[in-house]
Structure 1
């Protein structure tokens, strides 16, 4: 049974190379019968603002731009279609690329969205939400953000598990979903699975307000709880102890450090959509991890997630 039958590749017209396409091809080559759609969103505000052209003329200009971009997509797809891969091209005129991509996912039942990513400046992260971040928050299917790290045979996939929330049914299901996705990906790309969890330091406010509070016993108990929970998750995939990683610290720091240590080709984690001021200013673990990783990131939504973007 194929896992990824219908892959949408978000093409960045500003990039010379297209690592997202190359990654999608490497998956499709192993998933016989998979279909790839190259997606490009184009928009030019000057076409909308000009008062010298009628509505029909503006639409005609849009059609020309769309046609030119479609021809370009076909040209970059040609080397792969000649190899027998099933690749289609889709161009949309839309002023919000992430929204156009999610509409495309919903319309055509894509099961994976692949996009190349690059570092975001701190200023733009606050003032303008990058397309990557909107896709992480709002896309209903798994989002694979691609960097230039190779996917070697017998490489390593790292699963980020949230052990502190095992009593939370939704988080537990998301952890299980991450492990299942890792098992599928490991089979597709012939990789080893590692899992990682970060546990927090003793809260400083309790240490200051309660003189009798013993931070050493607290930390030891916290570590044992997280280790046992992590080991339980590891047993579901029969992972050896050297592939189970527990460290104290912030999740985004621990995940990045372990990924670098094992030279991970892919990190898989869960992400929960958020909106409003808190999402704009704070982001979440997935967003904070992106810029620190030198490998690909696969972000999953919890079961039952409904995108705020609709048809």
Structure 2
């Protein structure tokens, strides 16, 4: 079966292991798809050379692009010889995430594969890494790759927000589970459904003497267990493959991923931007650094990228 058919693989010249490319090729061997090996290049010094005319600067840019195209061509040569449908695209752009999103919008890619690095927490609060921009603004699915392998019979976690009655969360839950099950068929793996629910708010327990935290907790757990059971039944999933756990998703999901030695976590992200993103962030963003496996991030069906031309 084909889950993704038109895949943009983002190359990183500083990654000697070429995690994203290897993952893209692995996907192409497991299911039919077209790959595009993509590289965004930029050299500020070329733009600042006042001695050169506009045409000369453009000629130098094209020379750099051509050089990088040859480099990418060498990387994918073996795959091409093995019959993989893979092309090369190198662009000149000073903001890699914008180049990636524009390419997705123009060529209708349904998946972006990108290797990820461990983010410095302090830097992440001040400077938004390219990964996070892509998570927020890319309209298609994004697979952020780490070194973790994709062995057969592995585990895939579908992380849902089953307790929410908001339409966009319910829609995302459906997309997350559908994609997790589809990827499980491709990888010959098994899907686990996980839902985290918040514990008793301490401030309420302190401020309202008659508040019964145990009763509240039991009611909250039942609500989430019932919601997860309903989702599981919709997708013919066994009860033993569902996990309803108390805590924050960014704590619960990595712990379960470690326990199950998961190959992938599939998660929905609503793509906050601006001030709310800086203050609140997205669960997917908090998860990236804490997971040792791949993260497949999905947007709601009606998501429109802020970089889309109106």
TM-score, normalized by the shorter chain, greater than 0.5: yes
State the partner residue of 1:48. 47
Structure 1 residue matching 2:271: 3-state secondary structure: coil
Structure 2 unaligned segments of length 5 or more: list them. none
Structure 2 residue matching 1:9: 3-state secondary structure: strand
Q: C-alpha displacement at 1:13, in angstroms?
A: 1.0
Contact preservation (8 Å) 1:126, 1:281: no
Contact preservation (8 Å) 1:144, 1:297: yes
1:234-245 correspondence runs (5 A)? 234-245=232-243
State the partner residue of 2:30. 30
Determine the C-alpha separation between the residues in 1 that align with 2:45 and 2:279.
Answer: 31
Contact preservation (8 Å) 2:40, 2:90: yes
State the partner residue of 2:215. 217
Deviations 1:128-165, CA, capped at 9 Å, x for gaps: 11110001000000000000101111100001010221
Q: C-alpha displacement at 1:71, in angstroms?
A: 0.5
Determine the C-alpha separation between the residues in 2 that align with 1:102 and 1:183.
Answer: 26
State the partner residue of 1:5. 5
Deviations 1:198-253, CA, capped at 9 Å, x for gaps: 11111122212211000001101111111111111112232223211121111110
Instruction: Return the match for 2:192 from 194, 202, 206.
Output: 194
Structure 2 residue matching 1:164: 3-state secondary structure: coil
Aligned pair 1:172/2:170, yes or no? yes
State the partner residue of 1:253. 251
Determine the C-alpha separation between the residues in 2 that align with 1:9 and 1:263.
Answer: 25
Deviations 1:244-291, CA, capped at 9 Å, x for gaps: 112111111001100110000000000011122331243210000000
Runs of 4+ in 1 over 3 A off after TM superposition: none
Contact preservation (8 Å) 2:3, 2:179: no
State the partner residue of 1:267. 265
State the partner residue of 2:307. 309
State the partner residue of 2:182. 184
Contact preservation (8 Å) 1:200, 1:248: yes
Determine the C-alpha separation between the residues in 2 that align with 1:176 and 1:155.
Answer: 22
Point out the more displaced range, 290-299 or 275-284: 275-284
TM-score (norm 2): 0.97
Determine the C-alpha separation between the residues in 2 that align with 1:162 and 1:2.
Answer: 26
Point out the more displaced range, 66-75 or 242-251: 242-251
Contact preservation (8 Å) 1:156, 1:192: yes
TM-score (norm 1): 0.97
CA-based RMSD: 1.1
Determine the C-alpha separation between the residues in 1 that align with 2:289 and 2:134.
Answer: 15
Contact preservation (8 Å) 2:271, 2:282: no
Q: C-alpha displacement at 1:90, in angstroms?
A: 0.2
Determine the C-alpha separation between the residues in 1 that align with 2:2 and 2:198.
Answer: 39
Contact preservation (8 Å) 1:147, 1:296: yes
How many residue pairs are counted as aligned between the two chains?
309
Structure 1 residue matching 2:163: 3-state secondary structure: helix
Determine the C-alpha separation between the residues in 2 that align with 1:275 and 1:48.
Answer: 30
Structure 2 residue matching 1:71: 3-state secondary structure: helix
